Amino acid sequence: MITGVLGLKGSYSEKAAKQWIAKNNNAGEQVLEYCGDIQDVFTLLESGACDIGVVPLENSIEGSVGVTLDLLLEHDVHIIGESIVTIEHCLLSRGKKEEIRVILSHPQGLGQCRQFLKEHFPAAELRSTGSTSHAAKLATEFEEMAAIASPETADVYDLNIIMPNIQDRKHNHTRFIVITRPDALENVMEHVRDNKQDILYKTSIIVYLDRDRPGALYAILGDFAKNNINLTRIESRPSKKVLGDYVFYIDLEGNISDTIIKDALYNMKSNVGMLKILGSYPKFDHYCESN
């Protein structure tokens, strides 16, 4: 089993992947393939060079990762799991605090530390990188450069932790999803441990209304309400067709194999322009342990 993850060694995606593999996979030795950015993970998976991919989907401070949402729509992938990681951002550098002139990180990392940066480094140049671990690697080149990354990357790249826990909110978590190709699904699931019968499942879908009319979205959501189906997340993204045209990403409790879910989605399909079912997977329930 080869797993594609975002970033280099020490990345949060690597931590999410290892966490999910330890809990769910019984295939023995695992190989991690490190990717430069989120799109590279999808490309690697699509090419058949890896069996599963792990990418960030949403953060408790900065919200959803738009690139991941767009790629879920554009690529034929299936979600088989999720992994929620506690984020502990640190400022890492070879130099001293007063020497720092440039700060690097993934856009989400910079966004999650926005107030910290404004307060402590208002004059520093902020640069975006493909991942927090890539930022850490780049920060080894010059003493005036620093990275926002995990404390684990300090050990990996021999950097000093200049300031720990610099995120703007104490409780900071990122939800990662585990994806595979439809043609690899059966083989991958053979290596996933059987889950308990009473485990909670989540189903993710993408909906495009195709035509804007009064009550169109309400009609869809109302059907879920009438069937007592709990929606845990709903978000819109531009369809990239015309201004004001949106695609909706919805997470709901339940499994596609449940009759009530299957019927609700069947009824929905005839009332929308497009319905893409991304998959049903066990709900991750361990991230609150550190709260």
Give the catalytic positions in this structure: 174, 176
Sign (positive or negative) of CA dihedral 233, 234, 237, 239: positive
Contact at 8 Å (CB) between 251 and 233? Answer: yes
Distance (Å, whole) CA 203 – CA 283: 9
d(CA 61, CA 83): 17
Q: Which residues touch 256 (CB under 8 Å, ≥6 apart)? A: 203, 262, 265, 277, 279, 280
183 CB-contact burial (10 Å; exposed 0-12 / middle 13-18 / buried 19+): exposed
Lookup: tokens for 167: 């995120």
C-alpha 149/C-alpha 166 separation (Å) is: 10
State how far the Cα of 248 lies from the Cα of 232, in Å rounded to an integer. 13
Q: Please, what's the b/e burial string for 265-275 (b: 16 or more CB within 10 A of its CB; e: otherwise)? A: beebeeebeeb
What token pair was written down for 190?
């053979």
DSSP reduced 3-state for 163: strand
CA distance 68 to 204: 13
The one-letter amino acid code at 186 reads E
Q: Which of 205, 204, 206, 203 is nearest to 247 (CA)?
A: 206
